[in-house]
Amino acid sequence: MPPDNGRYMVAAYIVAGVVYLTYVISLIVRARREMK
Amino acid sequence: MTPDLGPAYAVIRRGLVLTILGIVGVGVVMLLAIQFTPVEARQGLAQKIFYIHVPSATVTLWIAMPLTGLASCLYLWLHDLRFDRFAAVSAEVASVFCLVVLTTGPIWAKPIWGTWWTWDGRLTLTLFLFFLLLGYHTLRAAVRDPVERGRFSAVISIMGVVLVPFIHLSVYLWRGLHPQPIVMKPSAPSLPPEMLRTLLIGIAVFILMYAGMVTLRYGIQLVRDVREAADAA
């Protein structure tokens, strides 16, 4: 029976998602500002 | 005189498309890992962190840092500011990927090793690489002259690339908790085919996302540089 540690997987996926999405949003904001 | 920004805008648009494809791809990889990849018997669901941790590390160490170093070497050799621009952009994206490696790693370590952090050779050297990248960005922000900025930062980025083989070999050089490579090793990968498939798709998707982010960020910097040159003229 595998250990019950799914919350760590969820936490890691959320952290990675937040880091990548935050950076992408910052890029989009900068791109929009430069293209005005 | 109004500068022609059309080509730079085209780079931004291309980067945006690639980045969005990459982000969607990362979502697909997460779904693939959770829903269609078997659960590892000893580590349980926490092992699925592998499918974002390893591709992020692969892009940092084997794509972003070598390309940053190569562009820095080419800048030092040819003095072409385009290489300096690419190196700066690639180093910025490398920092983001490295941050994900350094945050997902401890979250995986806690349930498996019983601790968030250990001063294992690989972890410590990866943290050094991240600090070196932070130093790189600080230096670039502090130096005004583009030629000096390019030269100094190129040397720092090359030092970062020198760290990469040590990070890779650290698990063989020093005894620690971090496991040895299971794919990037002389013998065949020691992973079941379903897990290997998800990992390889993950690496391809993260490379696509890196390419998109670099293209988008390069386009933004290109617009700024073209405007700055036009203002100075």
Residue A7: closest C-alpha in chain B: B46
Would you tell me how many other CB atoms lie within 10 Å of the CB of residue B84?
24
**Geometric angle at alpha carbon B208, from B36 and B163, rounded to 5°:** 100
Comparing CA positions, the residue from B89, B92, B88, B222 lying closest to residue B152 is B88
Of A9, A15, A20, the CB nearest to B45: A9
Short-list B65, A34, B61, B89, CA closest to B81: B89
B26 close to B171: Cβ distance less than 8 angstroms: no
Q: Which helix (H) or strand (E) holds B40?
A: none
Range of the domain at A12: 1-36
φ, ψ for residue B96, nearest 5 deg:
-65, -45
- Is the pLDDT assigned to residue B134 strictly greater than 90? yes
Q: Which of A10, A20, A36 to mutate to test the interface with B (most CBs of B within 10 A)?
A: A20
Task: Indicate whether B117 belongs to any domain.
Answer: yes
Write the pLDDT tens digit of every residue in B105-128: 999 999 999 999 999 999 999 999
The confidence score (pLDDT) of residue B106 equals: 97
Q: What is the pLDDT of residue A1?
A: 77
Tell me whether B100 touches chain A (CB under 8 Å): yes
Give pLDDT tens digits for A2-33.
Answer: 788 899 999 999 999 999 999 999 999 999 99
pLDDT given at position B25: 97
Compute the CA torsion angle B55, B195, B117, B162 (nearest 10 deg). -40
Q: Which of B55-69, B150-164, B182-196 has the lowest mean pLDDT?
A: B182-196
**Residue B232: predicted pLDDT:** 83
Q: B1 in a domain, yes or no?
A: no
Nearest-angstrom CA–CA distance, B29 and B10: 28
Q: Which of chain A's residues have a Cβ under 8 Å away from the Cβ of B53?
A: 12
* B192: enclosing H helix or E strand: none
Number of compact structural domains in chain B:
1
Number of domains in chain A: 1
| Whether B46 and A16 lie within 8 Å, measured CB to CB | no
CA–CA gap between residue B24 and residue B123 (Å, rounded): 29
Residue B1, pLDDT > 70, answer no
Considering only CA atoms, which of B135, B127, B227, B213 is closest in space to residue B178? Answer: B127
Give the pLDDT band (50/70/90) at residue B54: very high
What's the mean per-residue pLDDT of chain B? 93
Interface confidence (ipTM) of the complex? 0.95
Segment B34-42 long-range contacts (CB within 8 Å, at least 24 positions apart): B34/A9, B36/B194, B36/B198, B37/B194, B37/B195, B37/B198, B38/B192, B38/B194, B38/B195, B39/A2, B40/A2, B40/B195, B41/A2, B42/A2, B42/A3
Domain annotation covers residue B113? yes
Radius of gyration of chain A (CA): 16
Question: What is the structure's pLDDT at B116?
Answer: 95
Which has more confidence, A3 or B12?
B12
